[in-house]
Chain A
Amino acid sequence: MNRPPPPLLVASDLSKLFGGVVALDTLNLEVRANDILGLIGPNGSGKTTFFNVVTGIYPATSGRVTFDGAEITGFSTQAVYRSGISRTFQRSRLSLPLSVFDNIMVGNHKRLNQGLWFNLVRRGAFREEFEANFEEARTLIRVFDAPLAERMFEAVAGFPMIDRRRIEICRALISHPKLLLLDEPSAGMTHDETSALMDDILEVKARFKDLTIVIVEHEMGVIERITNRCVVLNFGQKICEGTYQEVSRDRQVQEAYLGIE
């Protein structure tokens, strides 16, 4: 047998305290390359906090995070993004007055030339970059929804939740991250919409061969369908991991969800 590839993301003894509240408690967690990993657990079990600590929104109280072989503990949000991790937010955080294209380009920051001279004076070169990126964004969004790709210059405020989720995922994907963190993509959507979005995510995974995804979800149907591995958190600690079938049979997991002590 081949040796398994080294894990893409490793959290070692990661802790996060808010005042006296322990959100992450010496958490040890590995994300293997090319997985779709489901991160599940009851409310307040530390799933979103884990995302926020990994992406540098909150500094970790203690412990380490390594990504792709390099330590990223204490990195700023900007540095984490540049190293190849991008994310969506639980409460969709798009810029509603801006166009679909603008929102996606915010996610492409590191690949766009940000120089003053380039942007203001070399308009010809800027135009080429703009057109190339437009094509790329349109191709990407077509993976999700073809009609949406024809409405690139409309304000996001005019789109329904499912399209906003799609746009948000495109914003996270446009920069070709190695790791995509999806924070409850089904929140605020109907059952059918959720199902359609999961098709999209699987389609994306099929197209981007090297993409690894961590998804936080409450809908167990979603987890069962798209993940190949699950980690269950409770009180900021990992209580179980394995395939969905394995973890769903685990007694500790059932207790955590049913609240039995």
Chain B
Amino acid sequence: MDVGYLAQYVMNGLMLGMMYALVAVGFTLFFGVLDVIKFSHGDVLTVGAFAGLATYLGLDLLGISSPVVLVLCVLSVSALCMALLGALIARYLVLPLRSAPPLNTLLITLMLGTVLRESVRLFYPQGANPKPFPALLPTDSVTMGNFNLRLDNVMMLFAGTIVIVGVHLLLTRTKLGLAIRAVAQDEETAKTMGINFKLIVLITFGLGSALAAFAGIMNGLYYNEINFGMGLLLGVIGFSSAIVGGLGNIYGAILGGFLFAALQTVGAVAMPFASAYKDVFAFGVIILIMAWRPTGLIREKVSERV
């Protein structure tokens, strides 16, 4: 195989992996603090992408055309709105069900996902159709043989890395991060140490949801298109990545995301004739991984190190 093609595939895989990792980190954060899975996470991503698109259209109407302003506004509005949405979900749907069977949390967030997805489809103007997403980043590119390195992709990878490193620093270097980790470790002890449990949960859900918004925008910029069903696929893949990495482990989630993207990319390279089956392949891999290592690939290694 040509080196150029290979580089192209690696680049695509990295982009996918970055998006999966961002979603997976969200799942891991939620599971960490509350031991719950928030199945609406993927659909929060969708809503985030659409909120970003709406922000762009609004600014466009106002005549703002500076790309830097546009990007910053789109990102911050979308991330803030989704952080709020995530906190609201935690406050009104997840926390009230704490004493109910865990199944109910799963069902309620799954149904909320449906409500969000359907709301986008029904209430966003022509929401049932795919929407073009504007190219907000410079699309200059360098071509080397068969490899076309686009500036916007490099910028997104860079931004994604910064976000993930930022979350990591937040968790490990700040008081807030310490509080989140304390809650994740042991809720009761954290409470007795004077940590406002509820607030920390809301902040964590807000943070995770903002990450989803970021991933949603990234998805829109990468494919130049968004649709109401995009979050379902990304949510399931993100969740699987989080599991592969051992739920509750942020490094595992990141690794899981890239691993999953690698698998998909390798699948696409190895079986070009079956490109139509790429999603079938992805879901098949998820089922196989669950059968093989239901508690994740990383966890055991970590416990050995402890």
**Interface digits, B176-205 against A, CB 8 Å rule (1 contact, 0 not)?**
000000000000000000000000000000
Give B84 Cβ to nearest chain A Cβ, in Å. 37
A20 at the binding interface (Cβ < 8 Å): yes
Q: Is B306 positioned at the interface, with any CB of A under 8 Å from its CB? A: yes
Residues of B within 8 A of A19 (CB): 303, 306
A121–B306 Cα distance when bound, in Å, is: 55
In the assembled complex, the CB of B151 is this many whole angstroms from the nearest CB of chain A, namely 48
One digit per residue, 1 when the CB lies within 8 angstroms of any chain A CB and 0 when it does not, for chain B 286-304 equals 0000000000000000010
Q: What interface size band does chain B fall in?
A: under 10
State the CA gap A19–B303 with chains docked (Å): 7
Residues of chain B from 263 to 306 with CB closer than 8 A to chain A in the complex: 303, 306
Report Cα–Cα, A19/B306, bound state, in Å: 8
Q: How close is A139's CB to chain B, nearest CB, in angstroms? A: 34
Q: Mark A16-37, 1 if CB is under 8 A from B, else 0.
A: 0001100000000000000000
A20 to B304, CA, bound (A): 9
> For B303, what are the chain A residues with a Cβ–Cβ distance below 8 Å?
19
Minimum CB–CB distance from A50 to chain B (whole Å) comes to 23
Residue-wise interface mask of A (190-204) relative to B, using a CB-CB cutoff of 8 A (1 in contact, 0 not): 000000000000000
Complex CA–CA separation, A20 to B303 (angstroms) = 10
How far apart sit A20 and B306, CA to CA, in the bound complex (Å)? Answer: 8
Closest to B306 in A: A19
B8 to chain A, nearest CB (A): 44
Residues 1-60 of A contacting B (Cβ, < 8 Å): 19-20
Q: List A contacts of B306 (CB < 8 A).
A: 19-20
Query: Please, which residue of chain B has its CB at the minimum distance from the CB of A18?
Result: B303
Q: Which of B217-231 contact A (CB under 8 A)?
A: none
* Closest Cβ–Cβ distance, residue B249 to chain A (whole Å): 15
How far apart are B186's CB and chain A's nearest CB, in angstroms? 15
Q: Taking the nearest CB of chain A, how far is it from the CB of B237, in angstroms?
A: 31
Shortest distance from the beta carbon of A129 to any chain B beta carbon, whole Å: 31
B303: nearest residue on chain A (CB-CB)? A19
Q: How close is A204's CB to chain B, nearest CB, in angstroms?
A: 33
A19 and B299 CA atoms in complex are apart in Å by 12
Q: How far is the CB of B185 from chain A (nearest CB, A)?
A: 15
Question: Which residues on the B side are within 8 Å of A20 (C-beta)?
Answer: 306
Q: How far is the CA of A21 from the CA of B303 in the complex (A)?
A: 12
Nearest CB on A from B104, distance (A): 14
Chain A min CB distance to B67 (Å): 52
Least Cβ distance of A142 to chain B in Å? Answer: 33
In the assembled complex, the Cα of A19 lies from the Cα of B305 at a distance in Å of 10
Taking CB as reference atom, which chain A residue is nearest B304?
Answer: A19
In whole angstroms, what is the CA distance A74 to B303 when docked?
23
A71 smallest CB distance to B (angstroms): 29
> Who on chain B is nearest to A20 by CB?
B306
Least CB distance, A157 to chain B, in whole angstroms: 13
What 1/0 mask marks residues of chain A from 83 to 105 whose CB sits below 8 Å from any chain B CB?
Answer: 00000000000000000000000
Nearest CB in chain B: distance from A155 CB, A:
16
**Smallest Cβ distance from A163 to chain B, in angstroms?**
22
Quote the shortest CB–CB distance from B306 to chain A (angstroms).
Answer: 6
Cα of A256 to Cα of B306 in the assembled complex, Å: 29
B150 to chain A, nearest CB (A): 47
Whole-angstrom distance between the Cβ of A220 and the nearest chain B Cβ: 27
Shortest Cβ distance from residue B303 to the other chain A in the assembled complex, whole angstroms? 6
Nearest-neighbour CB distance to chain A for B17, whole angstroms, equals 31
Distance in Å: Cβ of B107 to nearest Cβ of chain A: 17
Cα separation A133 to B306 with both chains bound (whole Å): 51
Taking the nearest CB of chain B, how far is it from the CB of A206, in angstroms? 40
* Nearest CB on A from B126, distance (A): 47
Chain A residues near B (Cβ < 8 Å): 19-20
3 A-B pairs within 8 Å (CB atoms) are namely: A19-B303, A19-B306, A20-B306
3 A-B pairs with the lowest CB-CB distances in the bound complex, closest first: A19-B306, A19-B303, A20-B306
